[in-house]
Amino acid sequence: MTTTLRTRVAIIGAGPAGLLLAHLLDRAGIASVVIDRRSRDEIESTIRAGILEQGTVELLDTLGPHSRARTVGHRHDGIELRFEGEGHRIDFAETVGRAVWLYPQHEVLKDLIAARLAAGQDLRFGVTAEGVEDADTTRPRVRARDADGDVLEIEADVVVGSDGSRSVARAAVTGSSQGGFFREYPFAWFGILCEAPPSADELIYSNSPDGFALVSQRSPTVQRMYFQCAPDTDTAAYSEQQLWDELQKRVPGTELLRGPIFQRDVLRFRSFVAHELRRGRVALVGDAAHTVPPTGAKGMNLAIADVRLLAEALRRLLLEDDERAFDAYPERALARIWKAQHFSWWMTSLLHVAPDATAFDRRRQVGELRSVVDSAHGRAYLAEAYCGWPFDD
Ligand code: DHB
């Protein structure tokens, strides 16, 4: 059986980018349909990163009481860079007068989904996009299949691929499912969640001879921590005691508060930017368009920044018949994307120990860390990027 649906904007992927886009379009009076192959429960329970830029929080404020970023999340006015056993605070308030919020991505997703459902959004879980057709016409189409195997065709004025790093929409834009600038790294992060209170008030990004570690947080009772590992590390390779030993030796000077570890994962490091972000009436946002390594927590924030631009471009295209902002979307989005690519790469190389690092490389790296923390300009550079570059709109 085939069902055909007609809407103005077909959005593939109910991640932060797709859901926020649907919300912003709705505020402008533009109808959309959002599909995602995952169940609502899977979307709301997958643990991802936890830092929101100030601009992200401000955009989420438009959800009204549905956004709990300011009430359940925590504002952080700085981070600590630690190296050679000493901590150096980067004070966001003092350097750039901005802040970040610690509020996990899956909580953002719960807020967005609740807001969309309350607004009567056509939001379909368990529907898998199989392809996007007719990108070069004014009636692009998404071909999808629901959980029962029935075909769903969505005809729209515009199709948006917000369907993550394994995007189906990307092929319609770049001509292949890969199609991009790509870089891999010789390390990954071993992440844990544990039942323990915070070991420190703020996040600690720690460089040590044994490799990098990040002491982050989730809530007053659950902590998130990561340490640098080889990309092919098996999550079962470490006992709980070995995990604590690995983490602790990389954060000298702070005694980590321990508790039962209830989740482990290995995060691969990749940098990717699609060769094209738009073709005809099909556009890509978020991880479908780009991936950054996790250091500096730019991934979700960058997706939200894409959506901010695209929502305005679609408003002008669909309500005012003005194509200019939609035509300019790739160029404008790419300016920020490449800044974030650079920042994520830079934070990564600043803090991690490459497997082939020489004694020279180690000393040079400490010199670079000192150049940042000893200089008001260095601290401000890092703080501005971390809190999110201001928008020019
Ligand atoms: C977290 C992840 C990051 O990549 C980061 O830079 C800071 C925090 C986190 O998951 O808490």
Residues 6+ apart with CB under 8 A from 374: none
Specify the pTM.
0.97
Report the alpha-carbon distance of residue 222 to residue 203 in Å, rounded.
Answer: 14
Active site residues: 76, 205, 294, 298, 386
CB of 299 shorter than 6 A to ligand 1: no
Pair 71, 42: CB distance under 8 Å: no
- For 297-336, give the DSSP string: --HHHHHHHHHHHHHHHHHHHHHH---HHHHHHHHHHHHH
CA-based nearest residue to 98, from 382, 388, 303:
388
Does the beta carbon of 116 sit less than 6 angstroms from any atom of ligand 1? no
In short, whether 352's Cβ falls inside 6 Å of ligand 1 is no
Please tell me the distance from the alpha carbon of residue 37 to that of residue 184, in angstroms, as a whole number: 27
State if residue 300 touches ligand 1 by the CB under 6 angstroms criterion.
no
| Domain at 2-76+100-182+271-351, CATH homologous superfamily | FAD/NAD(P)-binding domain (3.50.50.60)
Ligand 1 atom at minimum distance from 218 CA: 11
Please check whether residue 170 is in contact with residue 274, taking contact to mean a CB–CB distance below 8 angstroms.
yes
Q: Which residues of the chain have pLDDT under 50?
A: none
Q: With respect to CATH, is domain 185-269+354-387 assigned 3.30.9.10?
A: yes
Cα 63 to middle of ligand 1, angstroms: 24
Pocket flag, ligand 1, residue 140 (CB < 6 Å): no
Judge residue 3's burial from the number of C-beta atoms within 10 Å of its C-beta, 0-12 exposed, 13-18 middle, 19 or more buried.
exposed
| Beta-sheet strands, E only, within 196-281 | 204-208, 211-215, 222-229, 261-274, 278-279
**3-state SS class at 71:** coil
If you measure from the C-alpha of residue 337 to the centroid of ligand 1, how many angstroms do you get, rounded to a whole number? Answer: 18
Q: What residue owns the CA closest to ligand 1's atom 3? A: 297
Nearest alpha carbon, ligand 1 atom 10? 49
The per-residue pLDDT for 176 is: 79
Domain boundaries, the chain: 2-76+100-182+271-351, 185-269+354-387
* Residue to substitute in 100, 101, 207, 214 for testing ligand 1 pocket (most ligand atoms within 8 angstroms of CB): 214
Per-residue model confidence (pLDDT) at position 179: 82
Task: Give the number of C-alpha atoms closer than 13 A to the C-alpha of residue 145, restricted to the C-beta side.
Answer: 7
Q: What's the confidence (pLDDT) of residue 178?
A: 74
Compute the distance between CA of residue 172 and CA of residue 70 in angstroms, rounded to an integer: 38
Instruction: Say if ligand 1 is within 6 A of residue 332 CB.
Output: no
Q: Which of 97, 105, 51 is nearest to 383 (CA)?
A: 97
CA of 184 to the centre of ligand 1 (A): 19
The reply to whether 185-269+354-387 shares the fold of 2-76+100-182+271-351 is no
What is the rounded CA–CA span in Å between residue 296 and residue 376? 19
C-alpha pair distances (Å), 34 with each of 6, 22, 120, 322, 386: 12, 7, 12, 24, 30
